[in-house]
């Protein structure tokens, strides 16, 4: 993962301070997930340039819900984060331009449909077709649990295109969500393959070496 993309959390600490900051990150993520259940939040990035400053970036498919009217919602979120951490907080919102190709949002969408008692096969096929129309090179969806109210748990899967899950340089997005149905919990796993990330070749330049 680190070979083609950066970490979602970026800071450095040692000893007890590392433990405290790690638990603080968990609390930040938990609070934002609870405050923005319908905002289509796919990813949260936390960065610390100094120990008394926190920068949080929210990647969402519905930035209008996060920002609110005249920025009221985002200001309220910033104040809650300041109260939670006791530090200076910078909050940024980035829009996900193609939510149909985001693995976590696809998984959440399918889980929501399963909760509303929509057929899992229909939900998976529709999500796969929409992702392929947006230009991804491959998608794989797996659901597991008491599908359709069956007595025993089982798995079902739908895939289209190519999904190389063991290639390090593959730009492979993964998402997981759970649907709480009347028959129990159903897990949804999604892999979206967007192509390979190749190293950029440096352009050759003339170099003068003195003798």
Six-digit token string for 150: 């069956």
66, 95, 124: which is the final residue of a domain?
A: 95
Tell whether 1 is covered by a domain. no
Tell whether 201 is covered by a domain. no
Tell whether 87 is covered by a domain. yes
Are 24 and 52 in the same domain? yes
Tell whether 42 is covered by a domain. yes
Tell whether 106 is covered by a domain. yes
Mean pLDDT of successive 10-residue stretches along the chain, which has 211 residues: 77 92 96 92 92 92 92 93 93 94 96 94 96 95 93 94 91 95 94 86 49 45
Burial class (CB in 10 A: 0-12, 13-18, 19+), 160: middle
Are 103 and 187 in the same domain? yes
Are 173 and 135 in the same domain? yes
Are 124 and 72 in the same domain? no
Are 91 and 103 in the same domain? no
Are 111 and 145 in the same domain? yes
Are 73 and 135 in the same domain? no
Name beta bridge partners: 44: 58
**Angle subtended by helix axes 103-115 and 120-133, to nearest 10:** 150
68, 95, 122: which is the final residue of a domain?
A: 95
Tell whether 41 is covered by a domain. yes
What pLDDT, on a 0 to 100 scale, did the predictor assign at position 207?
A: 47
What pLDDT, on a 0 to 100 scale, did the predictor assign at position 210?
A: 43
Report the DSSP pairing between strands 138-145 and 154-161. Answer: antiparallel
Are 135 and 172 in the same domain? yes
Summarised one tens digit per residue, pLDDT across range 158-183 is 999 999 998 888 999 999 999 999 99
Give the domain CATH number at 91: 3.30.300.20
45, 67, 95: which is the final residue of a domain?
A: 95
Tell whether 65 is covered by a domain. yes
Which conformational region is residue 112 in: left (phi greater than 0), alpha (psi within -120 to 50 degrees), or beta? Answer: alpha
Q: What total of structural domains would you count in the chain?
A: 2
Are 19 and 66 in the same domain? yes
What pLDDT, on a 0 to 100 scale, did the predictor assign at position 203?
A: 54
Dmax over CA atoms of the chain, in Å, equals: 82
Are 142 and 159 in the same domain? yes
Are 62 and 136 in the same domain? no
What is the residue range of 14's domain?
9-95
CA-nearest of 67, 87, 64 to 77 is 67
Are 146 and 161 in the same domain? yes
Tell whether 132 is covered by a domain. yes
What pLDDT, on a 0 to 100 scale, did the predictor assign at position 198?
A: 76
Q: Is 126 within 8 Å of 183 (Cβ atoms)? A: no
Give the domain CATH number at 166: 3.30.1140.32
């Amino acid at each position: 993962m680190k070979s083609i993309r950066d970490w979602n959390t970026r800071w450095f600490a040692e000893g007890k301070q590392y433990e405290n900051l790690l638990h603080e990150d968990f609390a930040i993520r938990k609070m934002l997930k609870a405050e923005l259940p319908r905002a289509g939040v796919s990813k949260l990035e936390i960065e610390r340039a100094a120990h008394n400053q926190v920068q949080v970036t929210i990647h969402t498919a519905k930035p209008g819900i996060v920002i609110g009217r005249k920025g009221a919602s985002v200001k309220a979120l910033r104040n809650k984060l300041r109260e939670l951490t006791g530090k200076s907080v910078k909050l940024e919102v980035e829009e996900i331009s193609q939510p149909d190709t985001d693995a976590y949002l696809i998984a959440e969408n399918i889980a929501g449909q399963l909760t509303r008692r929509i057929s899992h096969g229909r939900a998976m096929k529709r999500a796969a077709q929409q992702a392929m129309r947006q230009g991804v090179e491959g998608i794989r969806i797996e659901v597991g649990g008491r599908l359709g109210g069956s007595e025993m748990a089982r798995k079902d899967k739908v895939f289209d295109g190519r999904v190389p899950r063991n290639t390090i340089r593959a730009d492979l997005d993964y998402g997981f969500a759970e649907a709480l149905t009347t028959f129990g919990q159903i897990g949804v796993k999604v892999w979206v393959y967007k192509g390979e990330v190749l190293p950029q070749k440096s352009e050759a330049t003339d170099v003068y070496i003195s003798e």
